[in-house]
Structure 1
Amino acid sequence: MTSLPDAELMQALPYARRYARALAGSQAAGDAMVAGALRAGLPELPGRLALYAGVTRLAGTEAPPGRLSALERQLLLLTSLEELDVEEAARVVGVEQAEAQRLLEQARQNLREATATDVLIIEDEPVIAMDLRMLVQRCGHRVVGVASSETEAVRLANERPTGLILADVNLGRGGDGINAVRRIMQSVKVPVIFVTAYPERLLTAEEVEPAFIMSKPFDPLTLAISTYQAVTAGQMPID
């Protein structure tokens, strides 16, 4: 077992929370998993890898219904959402690098065959909104609307059947993405992914926070695994 220096541990905690929340499907379950990993003691790995490994060990081999196994989900999240290389991800989950590579290739194929859903995008920047629309469609999903403000987001969510919301946190003069989702959740219950350039600000565990968070900028694979995980494992995103 290892004991990370306090400064290194504090720096790694937000990213361990993001990974755990994405695995568990909610803020509460993910944060509890991180706390449990710390109580149980961390394996002998450097820095963030030790925390990721502790969370992975507690997550176990059970996975929500879907095309991906627990190990495939873990490897995809580690390499896409957390941006580890294959060798680092293999060390975290405890398999050989060649096996990790094989599982990742299999998981990516399974992602391409995953069931599509209807996505509402909440984004106030027109160019970014257009980018998101193209990425969502490239992942095989359908875009049911693009909202640039809280008011428009609430209206569209109530007017159009939605299977997933992809929301920017900062909507400029249009309001706040988290507030928009809170209002939507009063009448519509769907998984949500929040997009922000500063994810660490939403991963302090000091208040109610999102379960699924993607950093800007991101690539199609990160969006694909995040949408898959949110739809299949997601619970209420915020209270």
Structure 2
Amino acid sequence: MSLGQHVASNLPFLRRYARALTGSQTTGDAFVRATLEAALADDELKASLEGGRIPLYRAFNKVWSSAYLEADPEQASGEHEAGAQNRLGAITPLNRQALLLTTLEDFSAAEAAQIMGLQTSEIEALVAEAVSEIDREQATSVLIIEDEPLISMQLEDLVEAVGHEVCGTAATRTQAREVVEKEMPGLVLADIQLADGSSGLDAVDDILAIAKVPVIFITAYPERLLTGDRPEPTYLVTKPFQEQTVRAAISQALFFGSSRPLD
């Protein structure tokens, strides 16, 4: 496999991480592009990318960390990005990086340490601090759109365990509409493929047409959303999932506080 093919195979996942870290597809993709441009301009950096995901994420981390320190909130484009940058100033970014790398991206603490240039013990401490921040998140109501009963129950237990309330569950697009007619949730956890053949994407579009609500997609088919052909969701968790991953995604979604429509 060539270097280009190897990087391309990891690119959707780096873009996912970038979106979750920045809260914006546009901003996340801009940092990914900057990372690739930096690699093209630096032969040593380019050669290091042959080492796999860790060097790629390490290169991204250096670009993001450098740019973040100089970020100007007034230059953000759009309400969501401006809000995201304002919130970034109120929370330690290292905590979010460590948590996302070890949950959303499934790196070990030692691998995350290599990416961030820290000690493994420091990563473990950052993750512990991030979990404490999650526990302090303001409680909200959550709609679960999931057609597999066992997974739906697992998500219900997880949501309630971290202090939120489940306002309803839905196995179809129609059921999701019925829940929203009674109460607009503060957060949506949604599968893509639903029981009656309807789409979780359409169910979410119905909700976002009414109000700006953070959405986390939890799916066994992430490739259906990571195509680059349409605006992609900021928060995407792959099945089978770790509860810590979902917990981290919930924290991120509530942290940024909004989600763009998919159309």
**One fold, TM greater than 0.5?**
yes
Within 5 Å, which residues of 2 pair with 1:182-221? 182-221=205-244
Counterpart amino acid of residue 52 in structure 2: G
- 1:236 corresponds to which letter in structure 2? R
1:86-119 CA-partner distances (Å, limit 9, x unpaired):
1111111222222222212222222222222211
Deviation track 1:51-76 (CA, whole Å, cap 9, x = no partner) reads: 32233334335662597411100110
How far apart, CA to CA, are the structure 2 residues paired with 1:59 and 1:144? 37
**Shift in Å at residue 207 of structure 1?**
2.1
2:140 maps to 1:135: no
| Matched residue, 2:133 | 110
Gaps of 5+ in 2: 70-84
Q: Aligned partners of 2:236, 2:165: CA distance in 1, in Å?
A: 20
Q: TM-score, normalised by structure 1?
A: 0.89
Kindly tell me: are residues 134 and 153 of structure 1, through their superposed partners in 2, closer, same or farther at Cα, counting changes over 3 Å?
Answer: same
Relative to 1, partners in 2 of residues 1:59 and 1:164: Cα closer, same or farther, differing over 3 Å?
farther
Quickly say closer, same or farther: Cα 1:237–1:33, change in 2 above 3 A.
farther
Counterpart CA distance in 1 for 2:200 and 2:16 is 18
Counting aligned pairs with the same residue, the percent is: 42
Distance 1:50 1:215, change over 3 A: same
CA distance in 1, matches of 2:15, 2:212: 23
Which of 187, 193, 202 aligns to 1:170? It is: 193
After superposing on structure 2, the runs of 4+ consecutive aligned residues of structure 1 that deviate more than 4 Å are: 65-68
How far, CA to CA, are the matches of 2:151 and 2:202 in structure 1?
20
Structure 2 SS opposite 1:120: strand
- Within 2, Cα distance between the matches of 1:65 and 1:47? 29
**Structure 2: which amino acid aligns with 1:181?**
V
Matched residue, 2:9: 11
- Which of 3, 12, 24 aligns to 1:26? It is 24
Structure 1 pair 28–66 and aligned structure 2 pair: CA distance change class (3 A):
closer
More helix by share: 2
Per the alignment, in what secondary structure is the counterpart of residue 175 of structure 2? helix
Does structure 2 conserve the Cα–Cα contact (< 8 Å) formed by 1:67 and 1:110?
no
TM-score by length of structure 2 reads 0.82
After superposing the two structures, state which structure 1 stretch, 87-96 or 37-46, moved more: 37-46
Residue 232 of structure 2 aligns to a residue in which SS? coil
Amino acid at match of 2:243: P
Computing the radius of gyration over CA atoms, which structure comes out larger, 1 or 2? 2
Amino acid at match of 1:238: L
